């Protein structure tokens, strides 16, 4: 699936970028379908890597949708192309945000969720850059719109981010404070963030600061978990935490029919 986005550059000339998303892998629920979660992989990865992990989790009521990001030049790799949800040159609070890329990926996530049945709870999660995109989707849901002003069409019930960071953190609090509806949504949206203290790709401090930025912006239903010595990968203990948290927050009953 592809998206065309237009951006105004210097002067009056418009530039258009097309994002071609890769293959989407779906893990069907083994029991009664109660929730659908779009799960986003990390930089340079693909959806099939995580679909194989998610298929093994003891969560029979969840349908997992694992898309693959577009292949694009990435600044942090000197412009070398790889799968990426958006462009990134530096992981820090002061780095510029690729709003065009973030909006395209958040739109792709919302489109994947928008065709689910009305009685199904919806969520988004991810690892590393996928976690960053999931958190950006969460802020779009809270604000009711993407960064480009277009309406955000789906209602999220849970957000999970592993070893990630929060894009656009500098302006989030002021945006939410301008809207009572956004503040109400922020206060009620369940978010789980997990991060390893030994992460040498996305430093633990970025996960911690992201959690602090979300809390200060009014996200009261936020859980932040640190894992001593964990690097930039996941372990069974962390996935057990995800399973338990999703079961509790989404009211999953484990039923098979």
Active site residues: 128, 199, 232
SS3 of residue 41 by DSSP: coil
Q: Which residues of the chain form beta strands (DSSP E)?
A: 2-8, 14-20, 25-27, 35-40, 62-66, 71-74, 80-83, 121-127, 158-162, 191-196, 222-227
The DSSP annotation for 147-215 comes to TTSPBP-----EEEEES---TTHHHHHHHHHT-HHHHHHHHH--EEEEEETT-SSS-HHHHHHHHHHHH
Residues 6+ apart with CB under 8 A from 143: 152, 175, 176, 179, 182
Token digits for 104? 């395209």
**240: enclosing H helix or E strand:** helix 236-250
d(CA 115, CA 94): 36
163 Cβ neighbours under 8 A, 6+ residues apart = 42, 127, 128, 131, 194, 195, 196, 199, 201, 202, 207, 232, 233, 234
For residue 79, the 8-state DSSP code is T
């Amino acid at each position: 699936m592809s998206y065309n986005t237009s951006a105004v550059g210097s002067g009056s000339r418009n530039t258009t970028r097309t994002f071609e998303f890769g293959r989407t892998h779906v893990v069907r629920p083994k029991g009664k379908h109660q929730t659908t979660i779009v799960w986003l992989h990390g930089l340079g990865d693909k959806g099939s890597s995580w679909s194989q992990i998610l298929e093994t989790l003891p969560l029979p009521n969840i349908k997992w949708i694992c898309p693959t990001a577009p292949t694009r030049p990435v600044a942090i790799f000197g412009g070398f192309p790889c799968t990426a949800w958006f462009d990134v040159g530096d992981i820090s609070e002061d780095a510029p945000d690729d709003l065009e890329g973030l909006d395209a990926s958040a739109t792709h996530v919302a489109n994947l969720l928008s065709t689910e049945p009305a009685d199904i709870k919806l969520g988004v999660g991810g690892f590393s850059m996928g976690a960053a995109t999931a958190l950006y989707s969460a802020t779009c849901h809270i604000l009711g719109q993407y960064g480009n002003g277009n309406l955000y069409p789906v209602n999220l019930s849970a957000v999970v981010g592993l070893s990630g960071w929060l894009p656009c953190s500098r302006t989030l609090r002021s945006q939410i404070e301008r809207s009572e509806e956004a503040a109400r949504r922020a206060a009620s949206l369940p978010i789980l963030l997990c991060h390893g203290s030994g992460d040498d790709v996305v430093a633990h401090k970025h996960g911690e600061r992201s959690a602090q930025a979300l809390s200060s912006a009014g996200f009261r239903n936020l859980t932040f978990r640190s894992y001593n010595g964990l690097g930039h990968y996941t372990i069974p203990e962390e996935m057990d935490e995800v399973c338990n948290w999703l079961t509790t927050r989404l009211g999953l009953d484990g039923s098979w029919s």
